[in-house]
Amino acid sequence: MAQTQTGDSPPAAGKQRLPAELLKVAGVVLLGMLLMQFDGTMVSIALNKLVGELSVSVSTVQWVVTAYLLALMVGMPIAGWAADRFGTRTIWNFSLIGFLVGSLLCGLSNSVWMLIAARVVQGLGGGMMAPVGQAMLVRVGGVERRAQLVSLMAVPAVVGPTLGPVVGGIIVDDLSWRWMFFINLPIGLVAFLVAGRAMPNLKASSGAGLDVVGVALLVPGLVAIVYGLSQATTVGFGGVQVVVALSLGAAMVAGFAWHAARPNIDALVSMRLFRYRGFATSSILLLLLGLTMGAGFVDPLFLQQVHSESALGAGLLLVAAGVGSALASLTMGRVFNRVGPMRVGVAGLACALVGRLIFTQFDANTSALVIVVAMFVTGVGFGMMVLSMTTALYIGLPPEQVTRATSGSRIFQQIGLSAGTAVVGVVLQFQLTRQQDAAPGGSPGPDALAPAYSNTFWWSVAFLLLAVVPTVLLPKRLVETPVPDKKTESVPRPKEA
């Protein structure tokens, strides 16, 4: 017989310790996610080094980053279908192996073109690994442990970008840029060996075939959009290649949306998912938070160009944001089931707004203490927002849609990150050009550059203000439906309240 839980109160298991077997699965998934986050942020530190050692131009070496982003967008859409068809453990291991092979080839590269090709291999693996790992944890943990697991998953997402530049700077200065990639191998090997024993191999019962039309529309459409956004930072949004890429990408994604909304279509990401309030609001919020986080690439530039910090010094100041985010996520994860997605989201958005508003007041004389406080408060806000929207994402979804919903949410977040970086990159360049034109000799000092950055920081405030309405529309609490018998279904289905 199916067991029934009370529908009036949220599940109380958020206070309990996670089972040892579930912790093993979580540990493996988090290792994989941390590898991706470190790799993505460390490489940006080494770009100047690569220009000299590989004897190439800055525009060419930028493809080391761009190729990885484009490959991510190829892997993400097909991850959900592949996991449903072949099993979560199978695809996760396959993706991890691809990422590690790419890492090895990156470290062995003797030319920039070999490095770019190896980064494509890395990106294909990473693009599938993250959504499959997240969906696996959500399914095996059940509704009552979802917030705790999401809070754990949020840690590498904030710790990686925060500590990555610090670790990358140490490796580039004291070792070789190649060790940024070689360091992935022993960590990844441990994750692979543990995964074989700890991870479940969950599959969908339908065994549906690949949505070939969806792949043909969505994958190149997303690649075109990300390519256009990446080029906008150098040639502006009026550049021919940017306009063509964004227009073509938008048309193909719109075509996919029409295709995926048709009845009886088992799409890569079904438009019918937007009927669920939690998925719809969370997807919008992930896009907007991605915009804000993408805009955050300005932070270390301000610290180095205006506050005169070294690369290491800037990285250490940025650690405060990661600490705040991790603490908030882990703390709120234990009480989330009682408080609910909407209240946690609103509190997080308020903290993030306060933190970014403080950023708009920064100048060359701002004390390190004020910077650390602003970083910490912003991090607290981001941690709470990620926890609320990622947990609410799955409310009401049938278990068989969890994996594809995760792929869809990752796509929204990645598009937001790329768009935020592009938009704010163009804005910052415009602001810096104005300051340079106004400065004697065209060489503005830190005091003259400060207004360019403070004006640019307002864009991240604007992105957060756009998130107010969808945050308020998040479900207020979790109410479960009857939990099916373990023999027929191990994943409980939540319901919106």
Beta-strand pair 478-480/494-496: antiparallel
pLDDT at 206: 59
Residue 389's closest CA among 374, 406, 377?
406
Report whether pLDDT(253) > 70. Answer: yes
Residue 125's closest CA among 39, 212, 22, 26?
39
pLDDT at 13: 45
Report the distance separating Cα 106 and Cα 96, nearest Å.
Answer: 15
Q: Given phi > 0 = left and psi -120 to 50 = alpha, else beta, which region is 55?
A: left
Report the distance separating Cα 119 and Cα 67, nearest Å.
Answer: 6
Report the distance separating Cα 483 and Cα 489, nearest Å.
Answer: 8
Q: Which two tokens stand for residue 271?
A: 């438009």
pLDDT tens digits along 377-412: 998 998 888 888 888 888 887 777 777 788 788 888
Contact 79, 407 (CB under 8 A): yes
Report whether pLDDT(90) > 50. Answer: yes
**Which helix (DSSP H) or strand (DSSP E) does residue 36 occupy?**
helix 20-45
Count the neighbouring beta carbons within 10 Å of the beta carbon of residue 192.
17
More confident residue, 189 or 484: 189
pLDDT tens digits along 17-69: 767 777 778 888 888 888 877 777 777 667 667 777 777 766 677 777 778 87
Three-state DSSP class for residue 478: strand
pLDDT more than 70, % of the chain = 86
More confident residue, 483 or 273: 273
Query: Across the chain, what does the average pLDDT equal?
Result: 78
What is the number of helices (H) and of strands (E) in the chain?
A: 20, 2
Q: Which two tokens stand for residue 486?
A: 């373990």
pLDDT at 355: 93
pLDDT at 16: 59
Alpha helices by DSSP H, listed for 363-401, are 368-392
Report the distance separating Cα 146 and Cα 296, nearest Å.
Answer: 28
Q: How confident is the model at residue 475 (pLDDT cuts 50, 70, 90)?
A: confident
Report the distance separating Cα 13 and Cα 304, nearest Å.
Answer: 45
Three-state DSSP class for residue 12: coil
Contact 242, 214 (CB under 8 A): no
Report the distance separating Cα 19 and Cα 39, nearest Å.
Answer: 30
Report the distance separating Cα 457 and Cα 468, nearest Å.
Answer: 18
Output the CA angle 230-234-237, nearest 5 degrees: 75
Report whether pLDDT(487) > 60. Answer: no
**Amino acid (1-letter code) at residue 236:** G
Q: Which two tokens stand for residue 124?
A: 């294909």
pLDDT tens digits along 201-232: 777 665 566 777 878 888 888 888 878 877 77
Contact 235, 241 (CB under 8 A): yes
**Amino acid (1-letter code) at residue 300:** P
Furthest-apart CA pair in the chain: how many Å?
81
pLDDT tens digits along 123-138: 888 888 888 888 887 7
pLDDT at 376: 93
Q: How confident is the model at residue 478 (pLDDT cuts 50, 70, 90)?
A: low
pLDDT at 209: 67
Those residues whose C-beta lies under 8 Å from the C-beta of residue 422, and which sit 6 or more positions away, are 229, 230, 232, 233, 237, 294
Report the distance separating Cα 397 and Cα 279, nearest Å.
Answer: 8
User: 45-54, 174-183, 292-301, 456-465 — which one is most confidently predicted on average?
Assistant: 456-465
Dihedral of CA atoms 66, 168, 77, 349 in degrees, nearest 10, equals -110
**Paired residues of 480 in beta bridges:** 494
pLDDT tens digits along 267-276: 777 777 888 8
Mean pLDDT of 176-195: 85
Contact 289, 236 (CB under 8 A): no
**Paired residues of 483 in beta bridges:** 3
Tokens 């990106």 belong to 123
Q: Is 473 exposed, middle or buried (0-12, 13-18, 19+ CB in 10 A)?
A: middle
**Which helix (DSSP H) or strand (DSSP E) does residue 495 occupy?**
strand 494-496
Report whether pLDDT(164) > 80. Answer: no
Mean pLDDT of 465-475: 91
